[in-house]
Chain A
Amino acid sequence: MELLGLLLLAFILICALAVCLTRNLMVSIIILMSQSLAMSVVWILLESPDLAITEAAVGAGVTSLLFFVTLKKIHAIEGENKDGKAEK
């Protein structure tokens, strides 16, 4: 159990560094999502199932979805912008 906890913590920290260093926004959000999942397992280890279920639903679920739809919207705006320029 102890070893699993340490491994997960190391994974979380590596994820944090990776998020800072990647250039691709999509990749960094996917890393954040996996970090959230690891975090929810850590919460199981810390005997807080309420937090685990909330983190899994919110951190890995809804927050990531919101990030994705934001990125999609930004690409949409960008595409629209390029279309507009091409028409001109």
Chain B
Amino acid sequence: MLENLLQTPYETASIILFGIGFTSLMLQKNMIKKIVGFNMMDSAIYLFLAAKGYIDGRKAPIVVNGVTSVEAYINPIPSGLVLTGIVVSVSVTSLMLALTVRLYRRYHTLDIDEITALARKEEP
């Protein structure tokens, strides 16, 4: 297992990053930290996908001098998927931040546990 992992440093790093991001999304109490964790988790997945598309010694998929042979370029599919994914994560981030602003305006704290407790108290 360890040998295999050391041969694929990009994927290994991306999985570790995913673990850290996922844990902070799940267990951090601060809203901002949660959103940061979500961003890290998403970029970890994108790193994983992009690493899957890379091929040693080949170039970026932009046609140069009319050469269109498979041996010249890396796999373009993961790049396309990641581009789509980045848009999704920006949209989600902005929505979450807007929610955070509204929550802070109402409860004057960023701690999600405290916010939940306050909400329970204010309306049974």
For the A-B complex, the count of residue pairs with Cβ-Cβ distances under 8 Å equals 112
Task: For B54, list chain A residues within 8 Å (CB).
Answer: 46-47
Q: How far is the CB of A25 from chain B (nearest CB, A)?
A: 5
Interface mask (A1-42 → B, CB under 8 Å = 1, otherwise 0): 000011001001100110110000100110010011001001
Q: Are B46 and A58 in contact (CB under 8 A)?
A: no
Also in contact, A16 and B94, with CB within 8 A (given A25-B32, A51-B79, A77-B104): no
**Which residue in B13, B35, B59, B86 is a CB contact (below 8 Å) of A58?**
B86
Nearest CB on A from B12, distance (A)? 8
Residues of B within 8 A of A42 (CB): 10, 47
Contact with A along B4-19 (1 / 0, CB 8 A): 0000011001001100
A51 to chain B, nearest CB (A): 5
Q: Mark B22-39, 1 if CB is under 8 A from A, else 0.
A: 001000101011011101
* B contact residues, total (Cβ < 8 Å): 44
Residues of B within 8 A of A6 (CB): 9
- Check A25 against B83 for contact (C-beta < 8 Å): no
Q: In this assembly, does B51 line the interface, its C-beta being within 8 Å of a C-beta of chain A?
A: yes
Instruction: Contacts A51-B79, A74-B101 known; list 19 others, CB within 8 Å.
Output: A5-B10, A16-B20, A19-B33, A19-B36, A20-B28, A25-B32, A25-B33, A28-B33, A35-B40, A46-B53, A46-B54, A46-B74, A48-B78, A51-B82, A55-B86, A67-B35, A70-B101, A74-B104, A77-B108
Interface residues of B (CB under 8 A from A): 9-10, 13, 16-17, 20-21, 24, 28, 30, 32-33, 35-37, 39-40, 43, 46-47, 50-51, 53-54, 58-60, 62, 74, 78-79, 82-83, 86, 90, 93-94, 97, 100-101, 104-105, 108, 110
9 A-B residue pairs with Cβ-Cβ distance under 8 Å, sorted by A, are A5-B10, A20-B20, A20-B28, A28-B36, A29-B32, A51-B83, A58-B86, A59-B39, A66-B93
A residues apposed to B, CB below 8 Å? 5-6, 9, 12-13, 16-17, 19-20, 25, 28-29, 32, 35-36, 39, 42-43, 46-51, 54-55, 58-59, 62-63, 66-67, 70-71, 73-74, 77-78, 81
